[in-house]
Amino acid sequence: MILTYFHLLFFLFSVFLASPVSAEQSYGCPPFEEAKVVVRPLLNTPKIDTSQRLTALRAMASSKDQARFSSTSHETPVGLTAANLKFDSSYQIVTKISPRDHKVCTQIGSFNLTFGFEDTTVYIAHELPYGSCSYKTVLEHEFQHVQTDRNLVRLYAQKFPALLKKAIREIGVLRVSSVPLAESMIRNTVSRYMHDLSKNLSTVREKQQLRIDTKEEYARLSKSCNGRLSKIIARASR
């Protein structure tokens, strides 16, 4: 996780430093004022869905929408965890007119970010009797995926405020000819940044989720409950 954090740290700075906004000069403008940053993590309670049969779970795991699922590497999944990564950001721009030449001096004054995994659903194959050993075993496995997502959100909810403040500081004060131009430049920069940040976090999540679905874990599941899961999968395959 330490390597992951520093990779994302470098990514955050590189996005802003490479932007055209950060290259603008603020000569004649008031000094930059520290932005207020608020980060709200999404940690909702997952829903349990037992209505889907094994054939349906197999189709879901191989669909075009498979990016929603924590892992789709198993050939015949008896459980799946689906979640949507959400990144909602809003910001306030503070604008002042330079008395020197009437240029517009603007910066981001506050930034709000809500992020996390919403609409989390744990699918347990309908063939697994509710409350049975097989059901409990698969549910326990899928909740490892849920917990991994929650840990990821908690970690970056602590890191993002300081990182975002530093990144906004790199943009600094923008000195341009008009308010619409300043708003457009900042909007485009933030939009690109949030898109890339979301994509980067999705990649981090995928790598962490793959650590759960190992060959050893699948072997353990297949042997659990006196091999009951293996028998259920074999019947479904026939």
pLDDT of residue 21: 45
- Under 8 Å between Cβ of 125 and 52: yes
Greatest CA separation found in the chain? 81
CA distances from residue 219 to 201, 222, 226, 234 in whole angstroms, order as listed: 29, 5, 12, 15
- Quick one: pLDDT band at residue 236, thresholds 50, 70, 90? low
Supply the pLDDT for residue 73: 62
Task: Tell me the pLDDT tens digit for each residue of 183-230.
Answer: 999 998 898 888 888 888 888 988 898 889 888 888 888 888 888 888
pLDDT at 157 over 90: yes
Instruction: Tell me how crowded residue 44 is: count the other CB atoms within 10 A of its CB.
Output: 12
CA distance from start to end of the chain: 42
Q: Are 182 and 106 in contact (CB under 8 A)?
A: yes
| Summary mean pLDDT of the chain | 83
DSSP state string for 76-95: S-SEEEEEEEEEEEEEEEEE
Q: Are 66 and 72 in contact (CB under 8 A)?
A: yes
- Above pLDDT 70, what percent of the chain? 83
**Tens digits of per-residue pLDDT, 68-111?**
787 666 666 889 999 988 999 999 999 988 777 888 999 999 99
Q: What is the pTM of this model?
A: 0.79
Which residue type is seen at 109? Answer: G
* Residue 61 pLDDT class (50, 70, 90 cuts): confident
Alpha helices in the chain (DSSP H): 2-17, 54-61, 133-171, 179-210, 215-237
Q: Which phi and psi (to 5°) does residue 87 adopt?
A: -130, 105
For residue 100, the model assigns a pLDDT of 75
Residues in a beta bridge with 42: 116
Whether pLDDT at 22 is above 80: no
Residue 51 has pLDDT above 90, yes or no: yes
Query: Mean pLDDT lowest for which of 21-25, 77-81, 123-127?
Result: 21-25
Six token digits for residue 24: 């603008």
Give Cα 98 distance to the centre of its chain.
40
What is the rounded CA–CA span in Å between residue 119 and residue 47?
8
